[in-house]
Structures are given as structure tokens and as C-alpha cells.
A = this chain, B = another copy of it.
């Protein structure tokens, strides 16, 4: 069996390295289905109420935005990596609303990386994910800083 084309392990995730995670365009129907199921606030599900809200129109749930970033992260970094999940993070931000049809560029920066002391076969990577609107006026619309756990290549992962 050949290895996957990209097989990232802890050793590859060095501080200041930046990953382009591609881009995603917000589909109105998918956004509305998500909003209705998980976040049915008026400005997420009711076009008329949304027009008179702070946002000025129907916009995406923050959790839909986070989920769109996650898929970009899986496709461009985690697939074929030694990822072992995440215990959480210390920043999540939605600095500007996201609307149907917006195209968002996804990225991930490595902030810090260290071996686990309690479990030497894995490493803890602090990473910052972002989504930036590339259609219309550019704006950062999502930012999250959290820890990823990755197996070491040298551990035979």
C-alpha cells in the first residue's frame, strides 16, 4: 500500500508555518437548513426579521461558519495526517456576519507546538484558523485558536 499523498505528523507542524485551506462559497439553502436545525434565531431564519436586524439580512449561524472552516481544515491538513482530535481552544470569534453567496478563503497558522509530557507519543499543536471574505469588501469573518493533538511520525504513526 502506498502512503497518502500528504501525511502530516506532529513534526511537520512547526510554529509560524501557514497552510492555505482553499475556499468555500456559502450555499443559501444549506445555510438555511443548518440555521433552522441548530440556530433558529430570527436573523438566521426569517428574511423579513433579518432585514431589520443589526445584520441587515439573513446570515449564517456562527456554528455553520465554524463547520465550513473545519471541512477546509480536514480536506487540506487533517486528511491523511496523524490527527488525534482536539480538547478545545481559547478563542473563537465571528468579527463580521456571513451572507449567502459569500466566498471565504480558509487558512491555518501554527502558533506553537510541543511534545506532551504525560503522553510522549503525541504532540500538542496550538493553531489559529481563519476565514476571510474574498468576495466583496474583504473582512475576516471567523477566527479560532485551539489545540490539535497529533501523533509523532517517529512513533510510527
- Further contacts, 6 of them, CB under 8 A, given A61-B70, A63-B66: A38-B67, A40-B71, A63-B67, A63-B70, A66-B66, A88-B91
- CB-based contact B146/A68 at 8 Å: no
Q: What are the residues of chain B within 8 A of A55 when measuring CB–CB?
A: 85
Most buried by B among A70, A86, A91: A70
Q: Say yes or no: is A95 at the interface (Cβ < 8 Å to chain B).
A: yes
**Interfacial residues, chain A to chain B (CB-CB below 8 A):** 34, 37-41, 43, 53-55, 61-63, 66-68, 70-71, 74, 78-79, 83-95, 97, 143-144, 146
- CB-based contact B92/A89 at 8 Å: yes
A to B CB contacts below 8 Å, 14 in the list: A38-B67, A38-B71, A39-B74, A40-B74, A41-B74, A62-B86, A63-B67, A66-B66, A85-B94, A88-B95, A89-B91, A90-B90, A90-B91, A92-B92
Residue in B88, B94, B146 whose beta carbon sits within 8 Å of that of A86 in the complex: B94
Query: Given A40-B74, A70-B39: A54 and B85 within 8 A (CB)?
Result: yes
Query: Given A63-B63, A63-B66, A70-B63: A41 and B90 within 8 A (CB)?
Result: no
Q: What are the residues of chain B within 8 A of A87 when measuring CB–CB?
A: 93-95
- CB-based contact B67/A39 at 8 Å: yes
Quote the shortest CB–CB distance from A8 to chain B (angstroms). 13
Kindly report which residue of chain B lies nearest to residue A53, judged by CB atoms. B84
- CB-based contact A38/B92 at 8 Å: no
Quote the shortest CB–CB distance from A68 to chain B (angstroms). 7
Residue in B40, B62, B68 whose beta carbon sits within 8 Å of that of A38 in the complex: B68
